[in-house]
Amino acid sequence: METFVAILYVVFGILGIILFFKVWAMTDDVKELKDYVIAYYKKKEKGSVSIENKDDEGPEFAPGTIVVEEATGRQFKIKNRLPDGRYKCSYNHDLFVTEVEASKLVAFEEYQKKH
C-alpha cells in the first residue's frame, strides 16, 4: 500500500511540474494578445481603417523564414508578425526572441546575393 501511495505522489508531482510549464507558456500567449489589442486601439485612435492594412510596412515573411537584419548582418528566424508591422524573431537556436522592424529585414537568399 505504501508503494502505491509513493507512486501516486511521484505521478502527481510530475503532472504538477508539467502544469507549471504549461501555465508559464500561456503567459506568452497572453502577452501577444495584449500587444495585439493595444496596437489595435492605437491604430483605431489614429484613424486607421483596419489593423490588417499592412501596406508600405516592409516585406511579408512567413513564420519560419530565415531573414537577415541588413544593418548588422544578424540572422533571425521569423516567429510571427505583430500588429504594428514589426516581426517577432528568434536567434541563437531559438534561445532569444526580439522584435525587429520589417523594413530592416531582408530574406537570407537576397542577402547572400548582395554579399
Q: pLDDT (tens digit, 9 = 90+) per residue, 51-76?
A: 454 445 567 888 999 999 988 889 99
**Residues 90 and 103: beta-carbon distance below 8 Å:** no
> What distance in Å separates the CA atoms of residue 105 and residue 73, rounded to the nearest whole number?
10
Specify the higher pLDDT residue, 26 or 81: 81
49: pLDDT confidence band, cut at 50, 70 and 90? Answer: very low
> What distance in Å separates the CA atoms of residue 45 and residue 58, rounded to the nearest whole number?
22
- Cell digits for 82? 505583430
Q: Around Cβ 86, how many Cβ atoms within 10 Å?
A: 20
Q: CB-based contacts of 100: which residues, under 8 Å, 6+ apart?
A: 69, 76, 86, 87, 89
Read off the amino acid at residue 92. Answer: N
SS3 20: helix
